[in-house]
Structure 1
Amino acid sequence: MSAPQGSTALRGLKVLDLTRVRAGPACCRVLGDFGADIIKIDAPEGLDKNAGISGDRHGYDMLNLHRNKRSLTLNLKDEDGRALFLELVKGADVVVENFRPDVKTRLGIDYEALSAVNKRIVLASISGFGQTGPAAGRAGFDQIAQGMGGLMGVTGFPGEAPLRAGTAIADLSSGIFAATGILIALTERTTSGKGQWVQTSLLQSQIAMMDFQAARYLVDGDVPAQGGNDHPTVTPMGVVGTSDGHINLGVGGDGQWQAFCDAIDRPDLKEKEAYSTMSGRTENRAQIWNILRPIFKTKTSAQWIELLDQHSVPVGPIYRMDEVFADPQVQHLGMAQAVNDPVRGDVDLVALPIDLSRTPSKIVSSVPDAGEHTNDILAELGLDADRIADLRARNVI
């Protein structure tokens, strides 16, 4: 059985996927949705101690993370299993793994071992804290990285306990950074003829995602604090209550402030010198919000959004997830893509947020059952039915 065909952007690229949980699968998802042949390496039944960590095989998380892949079961701790894996490496372009740093060395599939059989191979490693250093061997999860990377230190309301973000920011950004590194390494390979080792970690990615908050400390020595729903440096930008709920308000530059004052029928505010600049408004943040909160209680969320849109003032609703996918703009963008799953039937999955004009991403197949394509993939390596049967009998596959 050939690999599912969707986008042609990365057609011909073969990726061996050794990943589990979220960061690694998120990386491979980018490549698979753009047409790479992703071979997911699953452990034979009973050998995976992490089985079920992302829920049922055909549950929402596995469906969303492992679409557009083929599955091969392979016991990498077995000598024959490792030999088969290295045979696959000879014809592959990329290997992606997110084991603890020492595991691939113990298994004999580190970069040195892989490049010895294929000098063009790109190995992408995603770890919790980096491949080396005092914390390299520690177990890492997204929330741990959120805490160590500074996100939880600025999230939540002042004086309250640190708060995690409501999605796996460190995991997902690590996957995206790894995919970016892979594509850079593949591009460089076209001139050098050599692969290389791409590395990222949840900790590095989380720090990078702090962006201006991190630069604020590095450049000015200013340690950002919790700000609740207020923007750290811009006012008024945050959540404000209306007569029937809450909306997000984003008044940035001085021109937007003037348009905003006109929209709420308070021209006197734009004439007040203390509020005339962005820095002045932030210095007087409490005063401004005290003025605005009762004003916004006079209309519904929908009324405020319509009014402020008319004045080109950034504003938006605060949705629950069902409302997100009901929004006409979200539907127009196609952020829910349909696929048929043999167990769940027709389901919608979350699309990639990248549009290419000629070779867009496409979801063409659901999560494969563990080992669903084992016979096909090994046959592509030249193994006959008797050899495959022998390997299966010995639980190598």
Structure 2
Amino acid sequence: MDLDTAGRPQARQGEGEFSRFRVGRSDLSQWSWERGPTPDANRLTDGEILVATDKFAFTANNITYGRLGEPMPFARFFPAGDGWQSIPVWGFATIVASRAAGLGVGQRIYGFLPMASHLQLRPEHLRGTRFVDGVVHRQGLPPTYNEYVLTDRAGPDEADEDLHLVLRPLFSLSFFCAAYLAQEQGFGARRIVISSASSKTALGLALLVNRSMLDACEVVGLTSAGHVGFVRRHGAYDAVLPYAEIATLSAVPTVYVDIAGNAAVRRAVHHHLGPLLRHSARVGFTHWETLDDRTEAEPLPGPPPTLFFTADHIIARRREWGADGLKSKLADAWQVFAGEAAAWLTIDKAAGHAAVERVYRAVLDGRVPPDKAHILSIS
């Protein structure tokens, strides 16, 4: 199916079939399609809606969701059967049937979706432009990921929609990680080292650190040899090193932000800097294929790596700044990052099962250039 100029799927025969992309819980390189008839709108109960997915972004951040599907709750948002998980994505969908007060057919929503053609929701706590999904199996999960926004009332302009779709979830991780480092006054470090420096999350984090109270810290990006040129041209870092040159880092107090999730890189940083490490944060898994569960618990010199879970920090900042304060700070920072990203990021759009499989494999294998991103439609 083609996408129209707004990026929405154009209707064609056969669009009504339900389909969902699933991947292995223990092996992300395995996938399958679950197929069936279109969900029956007549079977909705009071308070439920049925939405049809318009489009969603797929980035390395979603691979992190897949990797964390077991130790963290991501596999529980959209149960997919024994041995499978439905990796959550951030996307737009349209209400195609409703038995929920205040929500009508044709309205669009933005939020956490499965990689599927349709999703049934039970909206609760509808206030203004927001509601949460109250379906039983999502109760007790982090509330941030259960919230949906009505984008026909409040949301990005259509011209900015694709950029928002690709970058906003990644930038949220950057924003809350930067806020955490600022709150801790950089743990007293003089340098912040960020792995997977070409990733969009890392670029956003570097931008925010340089614009914060931590701007006195040197920001160093670690990246693969093939991405050194791009990262240096981007200009977000004070210095850029390939992973092979970690041993050349000077001996100064350092915070390590691990976005790559590469066990070998993490070991190299810890063994080289040892007691000079003030904090080690595990933020992402862009190098998911390098993970070795046998070495995850291996003692390392310096502070033990600490998992950074964004939802916990969203709640903490909301308590500290208030809902309006958080919204304002995040919006201001987003405008700066989005303005810069529009100049260097190319977004490719594709639709259909084959396209989903192709993009998934490319992102999983780390074959997407840092200046590109993908938006997909199932149908």
Is this a same-fold pair by TM over 0.5? Answer: no
**Greater RCO (Cα-Cα under 8 Å, separation 6 or more):** 1
* Structure number having the greater helix percentage: 1
Q: Which has the larger radius of gyration?
A: 1
Normalising by the residue count of structure 2, what TM-score does the alignment of the two structures yield?
0.26
